[in-house]
Amino acid sequence: MIKVGVLGARGRMGAEVCRAVEAADGMDVVAALDVDDQRSSLVDSGTQVVVDFTHPNAVLDNVRFCVDNDIHCVVGTSGFDQSKLDTVRDWLAHKENVGVLVAPNFALGAVLCMRFAELAAKFYDTVEIVELHHNRKADAPSGTAAHTARLVAAARAEAGLGEVPDATTSTVDGARGAEVDGVRVHSVRLGGLVAHQEVLFGGQGETLTIRHDSLDRTSFMPGVVLGVRGIVDRPGLTVGLDKLLDL
């Protein structure tokens, strides 16, 4: 029985995590904390794996606490950029038995979307990403979109493709989106949306679009449960749920 602590437990995602962990075989919630609670209760409760759905400003400190206390981490909080990843990797260098999983997205469809984008990248000269989320989201682009852009950029580089060509000469600031490793990412924020992403590839007379729609935050839960199960045997930093799948 894996003892799980949930950070951000009273948030929308955290509450779902609590339910999903309780419902899953072989794991239990032993600590459900939110912003005003003491993290020391993670240690007191014997928490083995922490699931963090908190805030970009809080998450790094939470991971530090976990690593220091030999607690594995499954991080779903957005905004976990390269410098944060590097920081965590440094911390883990001195911890042989602690694993941290940072997944920009726990929905299976999102993982497949990223993997297919990576596979398609070498066949197309042009590629852009459009991600669409509810209008309460704090960060743009989404962690998933930024991660996808980096995967696509790496696949292009490996295939010897150069920069994505862009003929724009007259523009209003921001129209052409954000550049993440040379890939344009556009962030739409709209009431009524949940979490959606399109990767668009363009070639001669044709386009290929891979789209993922998360219509309900329960879509993340099978992936979170799988992450909790997998991270206990996977020391070091793991980026992306796909590493725990057989793809």
Q: Which residues are catalytic?
A: 133, 137
Q: Is 75 in the site for a second copy (CB under 8 A)?
A: no
Interface pattern 88-127 for a second copy (x via CB under 8 A):
-------------------xxxx-xx--x--xx--xxxxx
134 is in an annotated binding site: yes
49-52 vs 2-7, strand pairing mode: parallel
Q: Is-contact 94 68, C-beta < 8 A?
A: no
Q: Is 202 in the site for a second copy (CB under 8 A)?
A: yes
Residues in the interface with a second copy (CB under 8 A) total: 77
178-180 vs 183-189, strand pairing mode: antiparallel
Contacts of 125 (CB under 8 A, 6+ apart): 161, 164, 165, 202, 203
Residues within window 178-197 making contact with a second copy, judged by CB under 8 A: 178-180, 184-194
Q: Using the rule CB under 8 A, which residue among 12, 159, 215, 243 binds a second copy?
A: 215
Amino acid letter for position 182: G
Residues within window 30-49 making contact with a second copy, judged by CB under 8 A: none
How far is the C-alpha of 37 from the C-alpha of 181, rounded, in Å? 38
Is the CB of 83 or the CB of 168 nearer to a second copy? Answer: 168
Q: Least distance to a second copy from the beta carbon of 199, Å?
A: 10
Closest CA to 59 of 43, 42, 75, 81: 75
How far is the C-alpha of 197 from the C-alpha of 148, rounded, in Å? 10
How far is the C-alpha of 109 from the C-alpha of 19, rounded, in Å? 21
Q: Using the rule CB under 8 A, which residue among 132, 153, 155, 241 binds a second copy?
A: 132
144 is in an annotated binding site: yes
From the CB of residue 142, how many other CB atoms can be counted at a distance below 10 Å? 24
Candidates 3-11, 27-35, 46-54, 210-218: pick the segment binding a second copy (CB under 8 A). Answer: 210-218
Q: Using the rule CB under 8 A, which residue among 37, 65, 85, 177 binds a second copy?
A: 177
89 is in an annotated binding site: no
Q: Least distance to a second copy from the beta carbon of 36, Å?
A: 21
Output the CA–CA distances (angstroms, integers) from residue 224 to 102, 105, 132, 170, 204, in the order listed. 11, 9, 22, 44, 39
How far is the C-alpha of 118 from the C-alpha of 3, rounded, in Å? 35
24 is in an annotated binding site: no
39 is in an annotated binding site: no
Annotated binding site: 8-13, 34, 76-78, 103-106, 134, 143-144
Annotated binding site for NAD(+): 8-13, 34, 76-78, 103-106
